[in-house]
Chains A and B, each alone.
Chain A
Amino acid sequence: MKLFAYITHRDGTADDSAQELAAAAAQIAPGEAVTAIVTGSGEDLQTVCDQITSSFSEVIKVDSSELGYPNGELIRKVLTNLLPENAGILIAHNTFGMDLGPGLSIKLGSVFLADVVGIDKIDGDQLTVVRQEFGGQVSTHVQCSLAAGAVINIRPGSFAADENAEAGGSVTDRSGDTGDLTSGRKFLELVEAEVGDVDITKEDVLIAVGRGIEDEDNLEIVEELAEAMGAAVACSRPVVDAKWLEKSRQVGTSGLTVKPKVYLACGISGSFQHMGGIKGNPFVVAINKNPKAPIFQVADVGIVTDILDFLPELTEKIEEISS
């Protein structure tokens, strides 16, 4: 089966997921050539294509002023037009891929695999992948046939990028093959989230707090620890949904992407949406009272305890040492 990867990019830089998609494709079809598809317009597009030639043996460039902003509805049309029959295409399962993938599978008449975190095995045209359900509390093996093609959405961060890849790909311009580029959905503008008092994307040490904090009033114990450690307070989505902290403190795919050196995850279960916001391989300490919390799979150090009791003790000890 011919494999493709759709590459998202912003401001002239390919998304980190580009190399991860190449890595995932290599597991599905070892040794096979994988073609990247990049859409956009202008100079940035060429820059992005050049960036990824090391990971893909072929890069298809689709340049159109209509595609300046990645509107999932238009790109679905482009891909439907461009892809050969029974092709497999890998897409990052981010907010764009979630928008594009399901509908694309219908238009291509192929199967759809959402949010794949691992490739279990490939046996003929039977592919078995690993997914997670119930917020990551349980995993499942999912199997399908690739005979009629597949749209495979890959969870960002699940596949290790091959930094030394030298695919030496060539760039092919297929801008003429977009087909009809009209859609019932028109992109208007981006409204950036408000910037808060602290820029957590620039902090080296973050103490992130999740549902386990239970109550707004308990934030105090986290703030005290942050003060003692010289760290900033971040959080996961439920804390923002509850309006206990500003959106500008939220780490995750629907929040900010942070690159700290040390990340203390307190009472955070560790959904991929949250972990997706942590880059740069920090030292992750997870503190959670549920020993089965998925966070322990990705953390460097884990402690099973109630943060409400544990954090004040930790604060006290740190204060003791520093004074």
Chain B
Amino acid sequence: MQTTIISPANASFLGIPTVIFSILIPLIGLLVFTYIMAMRRVPLVNAAPDSRFDHASERFFNVLKIWLGQYRQPRYMVAGIVHIVIFFGFLILSIRATSLVIIGFSEDFALPGFSGTFGHLYNILKDYAATAVLIGCGIAAYRRAVVKPARYAVPAKYGKDHTAEALFVLALISILMISESCFDASLIAANLQQGLEGEYVAPLTLSWLFKSIFMAVPVAALQVMHVLSFYIHDLTFFFFLCFLPLGKHFHVITSIFNVYFMRLKRGNIKPVKYGVKDEDLDDLELFGVKKLEDFTWKHLLDFYSCADCGRCSDNCPANTVGRPLSPRFISIKGRDLIFKSYPILPVKKPAGPGKESEDLIGSIYNEDEIWSCTTCGACEQECPIGIEYIDKIVDLRRGMVDDGNVPQSLQKPLRALEKRGNPYGKMEKKRAAWIKDKEFAAECEVKVLEKGGTASTLYFVDSITSYDDRMMEIARSTAKLLDAMNLDFGVLGKTEKDSGNEVRRFGEEMLFQALREENSAAIEESGASEIVTADPHAYNCLKNEYNDLPPVSHISQTLLAKINSNELKLKPVTDSSKIYTYHDPCYLGRHNDLYDAPRDVLDSIQGLTRVEMEKNRDRAFCCGGGGLMLFYEPEEDQRMGVLRVEMAKEAGANVIVTACPFCLVNMEDAIKVAGLEGEMEAIDLAELVELHLA
């Protein structure tokens, strides 16, 4: 194409052909980038193994949905849309950026297929993309600098504010957009001024704006502008590329991999060490994560990938109630430690004996922080790029348990679990004592299978429901429901042990495996062909962490099936002043996607008014945690349960229905603490349905 101004490939500056810069900038840029990436690879190689190369199609689908589809972004609407705009802008402009680099030394270069009509169409598209990205950057900068959403704030204990880095990167992106547009617009304006044909410029784009301005600028100046903007773009582009792996914008590069390798299954905890069989665990020198390199490579990749968006912590109940845990900073502190332990420039190597990493607990993480997690999974549900927290927390706990570093308040229940199979230290023979309640025994007979009896349905009660006076009501209601559904059911009695869901999550892996072994044997002995439980923690554990068990259902699933098949009849509500709301137990909802069955069961009760809390389903707010968490004494400003009860009140409900004994404990407690006795009540789904048995 005939042009009036000289392209960067042919221009010269002070007698030096600028093409030299066109070659040197990408060359040096790529060299530096390759070097940095090679250095960033080292910790991943040193890290513990992980198993992430399976299920390629499922992983590819995740990339399409979560990475390319930006599926989780709109959960935060404004930030999400801005991100989607910038994300797709980048994707579109990456083609242009690549060809621009080559145009620097080959004036008429066009990528294959981009020389004809498609090229023109692409130019229109990329002009709009650049414009949108610049606007996106503007909105993002405004939010960062002026609106300052709370979730971006950095509490003093976690170091300095991150706003400067964010704004700097937004500035870099803006420079890229502006320089790219100037480069095009200066050429087009010069051509048009000379009466030559100019590339079509789509209206209301940046290029269009600059072109309009440049029509009044002398061609000589446009020549300078053209070459200058090219090199500004070229320099900024390679600077940006090399800058990415140095901070939170590493996610621009790593997120696609992070999403590809993200966890596929939920509700389970990673093995102590991938590739080591359970029976060989005793031979392991090291247990859990104590030093940086004990994390798996995926977990270090998580640290690289964290974009510091704060969504995890914004949804973290522990963080919300002021416990010393913010998942966001689990990642940020981890990333900073990698950067410190594996510096890019060897001269910057910190003093000390080489690469010996220090213990994580006591340096970058502290005990209370790691014990504060309820494993509710809200953070992982929210993370737009599949960063994992529960496995990391559990691995750190495993390390602490191995060192004996366990709070006194947790030692007692753990010892009791070891000796008695329940955290309360109650006698095994009292495990089925709840069936002896006179009133109940007269109505409902429960088979206790401890002495070799069999039943086709096994009701797995688990510890709290077996031993807690209040929660025994759930057991009795559940038994009555199973009876009403004409199921041949029984309980294990003293041969049932704690399912171990929390034992595993609190890092006592070997104890968990011992419990699992005993339960598995007892369940097999019972001859049951299906297992039903009303405890979501037991449900999760039996379903996801035991092997070769009969199918496991939560009572809500069993109820729904029987209601749908008309085998279970419920009577309408009698008290219409009650407004119900359903609180999702984490181990039913987020960990097992069981959101609808309990709601459907409720809705099948005629005349029942049900409202939703604002935080519901996969965004439900944890009640405070179950199992061993009930024994832990966290530092916190207020209780999760109290917040949850207030949310229910805000939704206009006066009855909170849960489907988990731990939720019920926390809710009933919170109602008292919040002073809402008489105004609000909590009830288990099984209890409520039992009340409505026709």
Interface residues of A (CB under 8 A from B): 215-217, 220, 242, 306, 312
Contact = CB atoms under 8 A, between A and B. Distances in A.
Contacts of B408: 242
Nearest to A241: B408
A215 B673 contact: no
Contacts of A220: 673
Contact of A215 (B469, B633, B672): B633
Query: Main secondary structure on chain B at its contact with chain A?
Result: helix
Contacts of B639: 217
A217 B673 contact: yes
Interface string B623-640: 000000000010000010
A216 B633 contact: yes
Contacts of B633: 215-216, 242
Given A216-B633, A217-B639, A312 B409 contact: no
Contacts of A306: 469
Contacts of B672: 312
B673 A242 contact: no
A48 B396 CA distance: 61
A242 B469 CA distance: 24
A60 to B, nearest CB: 47
A122 B693 CA distance: 68
Nearest to B633: A216
A216 B635 CA distance: 11
Contacts of A217: 639, 669, 673
A68 to B, nearest CB: 39
Interface in B447-471: 469
Nearest to A312: B672
A285 to B, nearest CB: 23
A312 B409 CA distance: 25
11 contacts: A215-B633, A216-B633, A217-B639, A217-B669, A217-B673, A220-B673, A242-B408, A242-B409, A242-B633, A306-B469, A312-B672
A109 to B, nearest CB: 41
A312 B673 CA distance: 11
B488 to A, nearest CB: 36
Interface residues of B, number: 8
A213 to B, nearest CB: 12
Interface of B: 408-409, 469, 633, 639, 669, 672-673
A206 to B, nearest CB: 24
Contacts of B673: 217, 220
A299 to B, nearest CB: 24
A28 to B, nearest CB: 40
A301 B693 CA distance: 44
A134 to B, nearest CB: 15
Given A217-B673, A242-B409, 9 more contacts: A215-B633, A216-B633, A217-B639, A217-B669, A220-B673, A242-B408, A242-B633, A306-B469, A312-B672
Contacts of A242: 408-409, 633
Contacts of B669: 217
A312 B669 CA distance: 12
A220 B670 CA distance: 12
A242 B669 CA distance: 21
Nearest to A218: B669
Nearest to B677: A312
Nearest to B672: A312
B285 to A, nearest CB: 35
Nearest to B630: A215
A257 B58 CA distance: 69
A321 to B, nearest CB: 19
A222 B672 CA distance: 13
Q: Which of A216, A217, A306, A312 has the most CB of B within 10 A?
A: A217
Contacts of A215: 633
Nearest to A243: B633
B196 to A, nearest CB: 80
B341 to A, nearest CB: 35
Q: What 8 pairs between A and B have smallest CB-CB spacing?
A: A216-B633, A312-B672, A220-B673, A217-B639, A242-B409, A217-B673, A215-B633, A217-B669
A306 B468 CA distance: 12
A237 B685 CA distance: 40
A12 B639 CA distance: 52
A215 B641 CA distance: 15
A220 B469 CA distance: 22
A217 to B, nearest CB: 7
A255 to B, nearest CB: 19
B433 to A, nearest CB: 15
A215 B624 CA distance: 14
Contacts of A216: 633
A232 to B, nearest CB: 22
Nearest to B631: A215
Nearest to A289: B469
Contacts of A312: 672
B692 to A, nearest CB: 27
B409 to A, nearest CB: 7
A220 B672 CA distance: 11
A220 B673 CA distance: 9
A215 B670 CA distance: 14
B368 to A, nearest CB: 13
A242 B633 CA distance: 10
A215 B634 CA distance: 11
A79 B673 CA distance: 58
A230 B633 CA distance: 29
B645 to A, nearest CB: 14
B127 to A, nearest CB: 61
B490 to A, nearest CB: 30
Contacts of B409: 242
A242 to B, nearest CB: 7
A217 B672 CA distance: 11
B274 to A, nearest CB: 38
Nearest to A220: B673
A154 to B, nearest CB: 33
Nearest to A306: B469
B187 to A, nearest CB: 71
A217 B669 CA distance: 10
A242 B673 CA distance: 21
A298 B86 CA distance: 76
B220 to A, nearest CB: 78
Contacts of B469: 306
A215 B672 CA distance: 15
A242 B639 CA distance: 19
B556 to A, nearest CB: 29
A311 B217 CA distance: 86
B144 to A, nearest CB: 39
A220 B639 CA distance: 13
A149 B313 CA distance: 71
A129 B669 CA distance: 47
A215 B409 CA distance: 10
A215 B633 CA distance: 8
A267 to B, nearest CB: 15
A323 to B, nearest CB: 16
A238 B639 CA distance: 24
Nearest to A215: B633
A220 to B, nearest CB: 7
B5 to A, nearest CB: 75
A216 B673 CA distance: 13
Nearest to B669: A217
A259 B400 CA distance: 45
A194 B409 CA distance: 25
A217 B469 CA distance: 19
B637 to A, nearest CB: 12
A215 to B, nearest CB: 7
A220 B669 CA distance: 12
B470 to A, nearest CB: 10
Nearest to A244: B633
A162 to B, nearest CB: 44
A220 B675 CA distance: 12
A72 B675 CA distance: 54
A120 B469 CA distance: 40
A242 B407 CA distance: 11
A312 B668 CA distance: 14
